[in-house]
Structure 1
Amino acid sequence: MRTVAGTGVAAVVFAGTLVTGSCQASEATGFGRLHPEADFLGSSVPVSERAGAVGRRTASVSAVAPDGLPGLDVSHYQKTVDWPGVAARGAKFAYMKATESTTYLDPTFATNYAGSANAGLVRGAYHFGLPDQASGAAQAEFFVANGGGWVNDGKTLPPVLDIEYNPYSTADWAGWCYNRTPAEVTAWLTDFVTTVDDRTGRWPVIYTTRGWWNHCTGGDVTVPAHSPLWISPVASDAGGPPGMPAGWSAYTFYQWAKSGTFPGDQDVFAGTAADLAAFAAGPAS
């Protein structure tokens, strides 16, 4: 492991290939051709989760911002973010992509992580999970080592696992679920969240949709017993609250639109400023 020049973020070398930014993974990794530069929160979420119809969600699914504190999520896709401007427009929190699988580091993570905090936002990191590429524990270790940690400093939100439709799949449920059974997906998720908790003292937030969760995990309720929910809605949720996946009765974060006041996706935290401060602070497990 070594540091990417000018970022302070560690990079990992696989078979002589340093993987950061836009990349094609080395054949020696066993991952084949990847496009992590195109993967971000909700990038593979279908427009409709009914009857297996799939399309990419490219527009807002709610015309009006839900109640809660406004925030955003970004990746290198947004390029340079004006964080003081984002804060001036009212954002209170932000999440940014840090890693994907065990090979990819978002090249804008370090800048976004520092810039958002310097602008006064509470911020955190997310990992784009690929259950067919490496174990949950291996991906969790990579994430925590490369930005996914947590400290009780009043500025750091708990880490997030982005688990959604397989962006490298064929258009069927087997592919969307990473060619894993519900039991295998649940075991992978358990491996990931328990490793993050062991390493950071916080259970990670889970970003997902009800359709993916209920189908690909078979409606698992064990992971939701610990991990808060960040819900991604679909077109059928337009004009109303999003449907909850099995195991959760409410969301902590809601990604309600793909564009709006802030760069990147538009999100809300379900609570007050005091609630957000308390959520950032703990409780530690």
Structure 2
Amino acid sequence: MSPLRILAVLTALALAACGTPQVSVPLGTVTSANFSDRKPHEWTGRTPQSYAVHGIDVARFQSPLNWGEARRNGVNFAFIKATEGGDLLDPMFANHWQGAGRAGVARGAYHFYYFCTTPQVQARWFIQNVPKTPGMLPPVLDMEWNPFSPTCTLRPPAETVRRHTQTFLRILKAHYGQQPVIYTTPDFYEKNQMGRLRGVEFWLRSTAAHPSKKYPSERWTFWQYTSTGRVPGALGDLDINVYSGSAASWDSWLARRQVR
């Protein structure tokens, strides 16, 4: 039995002993996606469904999930919005974080970057609100333009964007012991030449084509392929994602990239 499997079994036993419901499915065990899509895209080439490991991302826009049902139906991982800028805490973070953890979902927290606040202030805000939890996924930095902000329409030069990104990543890596993952969109990636960053893993949004079409030559670990997904245990639309590797490699990725 792998160290990850042993940890999952011990965690389940400990939860049972203290009267807390056991995890729905052991952490790292891959469940098949039983999802649908309200507005499905007609994929050409390699489809999202051909990938073995699926997951979701959630924020305050999603009501409380039945995480156990979602886990049994293919939610193997979840990225949960924690913070934005230097003073906003997502009001659903604690609910989603605790529910995902109890259900055996590999969970990670993400920060939505705000271009009118320094990366140092934002990194400290994230650290203040996201406990360093053994087994959590590496933190995620969400880098995209926000056209809906009523107070900040600043769009710095690409060099400044990359420099602020590196500062934020460096602070979080020092605290959590893992290099954060970067989430981004096609226009932001291209405009700011995010491919020039080195030593990072990407979570890429691409809802109308495979990432290889939207991000030529870029390697990726996670792909967000729809924002209109439907998942058992959740109400309304959800963002759905896939992991780039096989079910077998998912176990080794978790073992290597989980926070200790």
**Same fold by TM-score, threshold 0.5 exceeded?**
yes
**Counterpart amino acid of residue 184 in structure 1:** T
One-letter amino acid matched to 2:219: A
Q: In 2, distance between residues paired with 1:79 and 1:242?
A: 33
Instruction: In structure 2, give the amino acid aligned to 1:129.
Output: Y
1:145 to 121, 128, 131: 128
Within 5 Å, give how 1:196-211 maps onto structure 2. Answer: 196-211=172-187
136 and 271 in structure 1: CA distance in 2 versus 1, 3 angstrom threshold: same
Matches within 5 A, 1:20-59: none
Q: Which runs of 5+ in 1 are unaligned?
A: 1-57
Partner residue in 1 for 2:245: 271
Matches within 5 A, 1:224-243: 225-235=198-208, 237=209, 240-243=210-213
> Which of structure 1's runs of 4+ aligned residues deviate more than 4 A?
58-64
Q: 1:201 to 1:275 in 2, by over 3 A?
A: same
Q: Secondary structure at the match of 1:165?
A: coil
Per-residue deviation, residues 4-51 of structure 1 (Å, max 9, x unmatched): xxxxxxxxxxxxxxxxxxxxxxxxxxxxxxxxxxxxxxxxxxxxxxxx
Alpha-carbon distance in structure 2 between the residues aligned to 1:90 and 1:259:
16
Residue 103, structure 1, aligned to residue 87, structure 2: yes
Match of 1:76 in 2: 60
User: For 1:86, which of 64, 70, 73 is the aligned residue?
Assistant: 70
How many angstroms does 1:157 deviate by? 0.8
CA distance in 2 between counterparts of 1:283 and 1:70 reads 17
Measured at CA, do residues 257 and 242 of structure 1 come closer, stay the same or move farther in structure 2, by a change above 3 Å? farther
- Indicate how the Cα distance of structure 1 residues 61 and 161 shifts in structure 2: closer, same or farther if over 3 A, else same: farther
User: What is the DSSP-based 3-state SS (H/G/I as helix, E as strand, rest coil) of the residue aligned with 2:65?
Assistant: coil
Q: Partner residue of 2:98?
A: 114
Q: Tell me, in whole angstroms, the C-alpha distance in 2 between the residues paired with 1:68 and 1:118.
A: 22
CA-CA distance at 1:267 after TM superposition: 0.8
Name the stretch that deviates more: 156-165 or 267-276: 267-276
Partner of residue 65, structure 1 = 48
2:119 partner amino acid: G
Instruction: Check conservation: 1:255, 1:267, Cα contact below 8 A.
Output: yes
Give the TM-score, by structure 2 length: 0.72
Partner-residue secondary structure (3-state), 1:243: helix
Q: Aligned equivalents of 1:130 and 1:258: distance in 2?
A: 22
Instruction: Please list the CA deviations of residues 75-115 of structure 1 after superposition, one character each: whole Å capped at 9, or x if unmatched.
Output: 11111111011012121111111010011111111111111
Q: Which runs of 5+ in 2 are unaligned?
A: 1-37
- TM-score under structure 1 length normalisation: 0.66
RMSD over aligned CA atoms reads 2.7
Question: What SS is found at the alignment partner of 1:131?
Answer: coil
Give the C-alpha shift of residue 261 in structure 1.
Answer: 3.6
Between Structure 1 and Structure 2, which shows a larger proportion of helix residues? 2
CA 233–84 in structure 1, closer or farther in 2 if over 3 Å, else same: same
Instruction: Output the CA distance in 2 between the equivalents of 1:59 and 1:130.
Output: 30
Distance 1:60 1:211, change over 3 A: farther
CA distance 1:70–1:169, shift in 2 (3 Å): same
Query: How many residue pairs are counted as aligned between the two chains?
Result: 212
Q: Is the 8 A contact 2:53 2:246 kept in 1?
A: yes
* Counterpart in the other structure of 2:255: 281
Q: Secondary structure at the match of 1:145?
A: helix
Provide closer, same or farther for how the CA distance between residues 61 and 187 of structure 1 changes in structure 2, counting only shifts above 3 A: farther
Please tell me the residue identity of whatever aligns with 2:202.
L
The 8 Å contact of residues 75 and 105 in structure 2, kept in 1 or not, is answered as yes
Out of 94, 98, 114, which is 1:130 matched to? 114
Q: Secondary structure at the match of 2:48?
A: coil
The AA in structure 1 aligned to 2:146 is N
CA distance in 1, matches of 2:167, 2:84: 16
Q: Is 1:159 matched up with 2:166?
A: no
Structure 1 position 245, deviation (Å): 4.1
Distance 1:284 1:166, change over 3 A: same
Distance 1:209 1:148, change over 3 A: farther
